[in-house]
């Protein structure tokens, strides 16, 4: 649906480095960081893709487009007859990335460079696309690279094996958000591990996304099996999220949920909302 108007820049190298920080595992690779956020004064950022397998792997990179409807349901705008999401703004035309493809030997890391160009008439608000990593057969990647120098190079028809995407945000000018935690309830659903499911409803207003972190407590004790990272995209008004918790054997008379700003959000560490969990 959306087409990138920029050609890949001929920069970006392969580095045998070890990365610190949060990562996203994508089969044979780890991706650091798990999302990119450009504030109004930032012009450049890097993404690191490390091959953690024992085999050489090949990836192609592209933009993809995932939005949320007003109720917070995720909409894949790439599929045929996808519904229109009026407030969604892709960033394809203002962010370049390079390289477009890579071949990584075991232990190697590819640095992907992102550069932003903001037109003078760019409207205030948030722009977002998802950076897509398509894992392709190594033979196909090698044919593509040879075809760059030899257009007569024959093509092979091999489908993509796996893919993974991560969000890239650009915030420009005046951006704002107001957030509310509306309710939380302990459901009857029980996982195989014995954990229970807490469902919570959140809402927001404003022209930017919000990224948060949720934990559930029994008194002062954290009973979340792991902190829940959640997001409501700029174009959505509300969303329902779930997280798993380990309820003490004797039950819990003081169960509550606390939402805080994620480290990648301007409200990092601030309490966004707190509510008792209905049982």
Walk me through the domains of the chain, giving residue ranges and CATH numbers. Answer: 14-172 (2.60.40.10), 177-276 (2.60.40.10)
Q: Is residue 39 very low, low, confident or very high in pLDDT (cuts 50, 70, 90)? A: confident
Q: Is residue 23 very low, low, confident or very high in pLDDT (cuts 50, 70, 90)? A: very low
Query: Which residues share a beta bridge with 112?
Result: 47
Chain centroid to Cα 275, Å, comes to 26
The SS3 of residue 241 is strand
pTM (two decimals)? 0.81
Give the residue ranges of DSSP H helices in the chain: 138-149
Average pLDDT, integer, range 17-46: 72
Task: Write the pLDDT tens digit of every residue in 206-247.
Answer: 999 999 999 999 999 999 999 999 999 999 999 999 999 999
Task: Give the pLDDT confidence score for residue 27 in this predicted structure.
Answer: 57
Q: How far apart are CA 200 and CA 210, in angstroms?
A: 16
Task: Give the pLDDT confidence score for residue 207 in this predicted structure.
Answer: 96
Q: Is residue 32 very low, low, confident or very high in pLDDT (cuts 50, 70, 90)? A: very high
Percent of the chain at pLDDT > 70 equals: 82
Chain centroid to Cα 232, Å, comes to 12
Task: Give the pLDDT confidence score for residue 163 in this predicted structure.
Answer: 78
Q: Is residue 28 very low, low, confident or very high in pLDDT (cuts 50, 70, 90)? A: confident
Q: Does 170 have pLDDT greater than 60?
A: yes
Q: Does 116 have pLDDT greater than 80?
A: yes
Task: Give the pLDDT confidence score for residue 22 in this predicted structure.
Answer: 40
Q: How far apart are CA 258 and CA 274, in angstroms?
A: 4
Q: Is residue 164 very low, low, confident or very high in pLDDT (cuts 50, 70, 90)? A: confident
Phi (first) and psi of residue 144, to 5 degrees: -65, -40
Q: How far apart are CA 254 and CA 36, in angstroms?
A: 37
Average pLDDT, integer, range 88-108: 95
Q: Is residue 260 very low, low, confident or very high in pLDDT (cuts 50, 70, 90)? A: very high
Task: Give the pLDDT confidence score for residue 7 in this predicted structure.
Answer: 31
Q: Do 77 and 243 touch, CB atoms closer than 8 A? A: no
Q: How far apart are CA 189 and CA 261, in angstroms?
A: 27
How do 57-64 and 125-136 pair as beta strands? antiparallel
Average pLDDT, integer, range 152-167: 55
Contacts of 127 (CB under 8 A, 6+ apart): 89, 90, 91, 94, 169, 170, 172
Task: Give the pLDDT confidence score for residue 242 in this predicted structure.
Answer: 97
Write down the mean pLDDT value for the chain.
85
Task: Give the pLDDT confidence score for residue 151 in this predicted structure.
Answer: 43
Task: Write the pLDDT tens digit of every residue in 171-183.
Answer: 999 999 999 999 9
Average pLDDT, integer, range 131-149: 66
Q: Do 175 and 265 touch, CB atoms closer than 8 A? A: no
Task: Give the pLDDT confidence score for residue 44 in this predicted structure.
Answer: 95
Q: How far apart are CA 217 and CA 3, in angstroms?
A: 45
């Amino acid at each position: 649906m959306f087409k990138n108007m920029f050609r890949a820049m001929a920069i970006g190298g392969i580095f045998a480095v070890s990365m610190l920080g949060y990562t996203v595992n994508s089969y044979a690779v780890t991706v650091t960081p798990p999302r990119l956020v450009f504030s109004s004064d930032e012009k450049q950022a890097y993404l690191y893709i490390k091959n953690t397998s024992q085999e050489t792997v090949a990836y192609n990179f592209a933009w993809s487009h995932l939005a949320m409807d007003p109720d917070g349901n995720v909409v894949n705008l790439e599929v045929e007859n996808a519904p229109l999401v009026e407030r969604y703004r892709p960033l394809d035309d203002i962010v370049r990335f390079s390289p477009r493809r890579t071949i990584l030997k075991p232990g190697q890391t590819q640095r992907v460079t992102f550069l932003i160009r903001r037109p003078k008439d760019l409207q205030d608000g948030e722009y977002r696309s998802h950076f897509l990593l398509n894992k392709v057969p190594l033979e196909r990647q090698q044919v593509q690279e040879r075809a760059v120098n030899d257009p007569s190079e024959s093509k092979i028809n091999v489908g993509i094996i796996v893919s993974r995407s991560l969000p890239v945000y650009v915030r420009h000018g005046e951006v704002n958000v107001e957030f509310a935690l509306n309710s939380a309830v302990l459901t009857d659903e029980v996982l195989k591990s014995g954990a229970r499911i807490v469902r919570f409803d959140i809402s927001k207003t404003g022209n930017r996304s919000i990224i948060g972190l949720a934990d559930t407590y029994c008194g002062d004790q954290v009973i979340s099996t792991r902190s829940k990272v959640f997001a409501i995209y700029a174009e959505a008004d509300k969303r329902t999220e779930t997280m798993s918790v380990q309820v003490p054997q004797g039950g819990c008379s003081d169960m509550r949920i606390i939402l805080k700003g994620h480290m990648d959000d301007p409200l990092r560490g601030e309490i966004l909302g707190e509510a008792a969990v209905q049982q």
